[in-house]
Structure 1
C-alpha cells in the first residue's frame, strides 16, 4: 500500500471536496484521480479509522456501510447516464489497491458494458447456504481461477443480512481460508436478472497460466464441498438459523 497514515488523503477529511453524500463518518465523493477515460469515478469512504475493514467493523457498523454504499451505487445506476456501473472493493497487498484506508469505488462507464465479458456460469455452483433470502455458493467456473464465493440476494432492499454474510465470508477468507495465509481479497458487486451478487475473491499472486494464457486453475468439487461445509457452519454460528 502506497500511503502511510500521515499522508492518507481520506484521513484528512477537512480537505475533501466534491462530496456527494455523507452519513456519520461515511462519505461518498468524486474521485480526484481518474484512472480510466470516459468514466465517472467516485469513492465511498467507509469509516474514519484508517485501518478499518469489513472484517473488523461491528455488525451494526458494517450494515451501515453497506446501506450507504449500495444506495450510492443504486443512485448512480438510476441516473441512466452510464452504459454500466461498477462497484468494488480492494483489500490487502495483492488486491490491486493503492490506499489502505477502507473504501469502495463506484465507477460509471460511459461506453462500455462491464458485464459483456463476464460469463454467467461464473456465478453458478452448488449452494451451501440458503437463508434470509440469501444463497451462497462457490463458483464452478471462476473468472480468474481457484476459489470465488458468490453471495446472491433477490431483495436488494434488505441489505442487512447481505452485509452480514459478506462480513462472515470476508473474515473466513482472511482467518481460515488457506490456513490463514490469505491477506487480500477483492469484493465485486453485480446486478444480474434482478438479483444482486457480491463476488468475494481471495487474492494471491496471480497464476502465470492466467496472465500468459488466460487459463484459470480451478479447485475441485471435493475441496469446494469441504470449504462450503466449513463456511456454512460459520455462517450459521454468526448469523443464526431461522430454518
Structure 2
C-alpha cells in the first residue's frame, strides 16, 4: 500500500463530501480521486476502524457491510446509465490498492462492457462445497491464473450466508493458504447467469506468462484437491451453525 504515513482521508469523516448513503459507520460516497475517464466512480467505506477487513470483522458487521454494498451496486446497475458496473475490493500490498482503510469500489463504465473479455468458463470448476444457498468451486479456467475461488449465490435471499462464506474463504487465504504467506487478495463481484458471483483471488507478484502473453497458469489437480479439502473442512466447521 502507498501513502501509509499520510493522513487517511477515510478516517477524516467530517471532511467527506459527495455522500450517497450512510448506515451506522458505513458510508457510500463519490470518489473524488478518479482513475478512469468516462466513468462514475464511487467508494464504499466499510467501517470506521482504519485496520479493519473482512477477515477481522465480527460476523454481524461483515453481513451488514455486504448488504449495504450489494444494495449500492444494484442501485447503480438499475439506474441504466452505464454500459457495465463493477464492484471490487483490494486488500494488501499486491492487490493494486492505494489506501489501507477498508473499502470497496463501485464503478459505472460509460462505454466499456467489462464482461466482454470474461467467459462463463472462468466461473466453472469442481464444486467442492454447496450449502446455505451458496456453492464454491476453484476455477478450472482462471482469468489471471493459479487459484481463483468462485463463490456463487444460488438464492438471492441468502446474502448473509454468502457474506459468511466469503469471510471464511478470505480468512483461509490470509491464514492457511500458502502456509499463511499470502498477504493480499482481490474480491470481484459479477452477475453471471442472473446470479451474483464473488471471485476471490489470492495475490502475489503477477506471473510473467500472464503479463507478457496473457497465459494463465493453473494448479495441478492434486494441489487443487488439497486446497478443496482444507477449505471444505474450514467451511463445514465455521458455518455449521447457520
**Structure 2 regions of 5+ residues with no counterpart?**
none
Question: Is residue 2:81 matched to residue 1:98?
Answer: no
Q: Contact 1:154–1:194 at 8 Å: present in 2 too?
A: no
Q: Deviations over 1:32-89 (max 9, x none)?
A: 0111111000000000000000000000010000000000001010111110000000
Residue 22 (structure 1) aligns with: 22
Q: Hey, what's the Cα distance between the residues in 2 that align with 1:22 and 1:5? A: 27
Per the TM alignment, residue 119 of structure 1 is displaced from its structure 2 partner at its CA by 1.6
1:1-243 correspondence to structure 2 within 5 Å: 1-4=1-4, 7-240=7-240
Q: Hey, what's the Cα distance between the residues in 2 that align with 1:7 and 1:241? A: 41
TM-score of the aligned structures, taking structure 2 as reference length:
0.98
Per the TM alignment, residue 3 of structure 1 is displaced from its structure 2 partner at its CA by 2.5
Q: Contact 1:20–1:30 at 8 Å: present in 2 too?
A: yes
Structure 1 runs, 4 residues or longer, greater than 6 Å off: none
Q: Hey, what's the Cα distance between the residues in 1 that align with 2:202 and 2:6? A: 29
TM-score of the aligned structures, taking structure 1 as reference length:
0.97
- C-alpha RMSD over aligned residues: 1.1
Q: Contact 2:132–2:158 at 8 Å: present in 1 too?
A: no
Q: Deviations over 1:155-181 (max 9, x none)?
A: 233210000000000000000000110
Q: How many residue pairs end up in the alignment?
A: 242
Q: Contact 1:124–1:137 at 8 Å: present in 2 too?
A: yes
Per the TM alignment, residue 241 of structure 1 is displaced from its structure 2 partner at its CA by 6.7
Q: Contact 2:135–2:154 at 8 Å: present in 1 too?
A: no
